[in-house]
Amino acid sequence: MDSMYWLVILAIFLLIEIITLGLTTIWFAGGSLVSFFLSLLVDNMILEITVCLVVSFLLLFFTRPVAKKYFNKQRVKTNIDLLIGKEVKVIETIDNLNGKGWVLLNGQEWMARAVNDDTIIPEGERVIVRKVSGVKLIVDIKEEI
């Protein structure tokens, strides 16, 4: 009878995955499938639940990053993502400890903070945008080649 429960759980996970298409429950469907086959061999519900959880989390941990990489090829970067890597000019000294710093990017002034808190970047310096955090650009000193 345990086998039927695992089939129902598997069907529920697959149905949720079909509806959402978000790679959210497919990993648990895999764990349910393994537990279904295990339930045909043994009659130990605790072992079946444990195997289901272990297999599900192993699948989630090891295969989800790879699957997301291949399923999100069509993802379009937002304008914010396009700012990363841009060279900008410091128009007010960047000092994280005092909460100061502004840069000029594409004619717009942005609040800026240094990647390292102990770094002070003087006005007029050229820096590289490393990431965007809220409305602040996190910048690093441009390394000369």
Task: Check: CB of residue 19 under 8 Å from CB of residue 29.
Answer: no
- Domains of the chain and any CATH numbers: 2-71 (no CATH), 79-141 (2.40.50.140)
Looking at per-residue pLDDT, the higher value among 66 and 39 belongs to 39
pLDDT score of 78? 65
Taking only the tens place, the pLDDT of each residue in 93-125 is 999 999 899 999 888 899 999 998 888 999 999
Q: Between 26-41 and 45-71, two packed helices, what is the crossing angle to 10 degrees?
A: 150
Q: What is the spatial distance between Cα 94 and Cα 113, in angstroms, rounded to a whole number?
A: 6
Looking at per-residue pLDDT, the higher value among 10 and 67 belongs to 10
Residue 24: band (very low, low, confident or very high) from pLDDT cuts 50, 70, 90 = confident
Percent of the chain whose pLDDT exceeds 70: 92
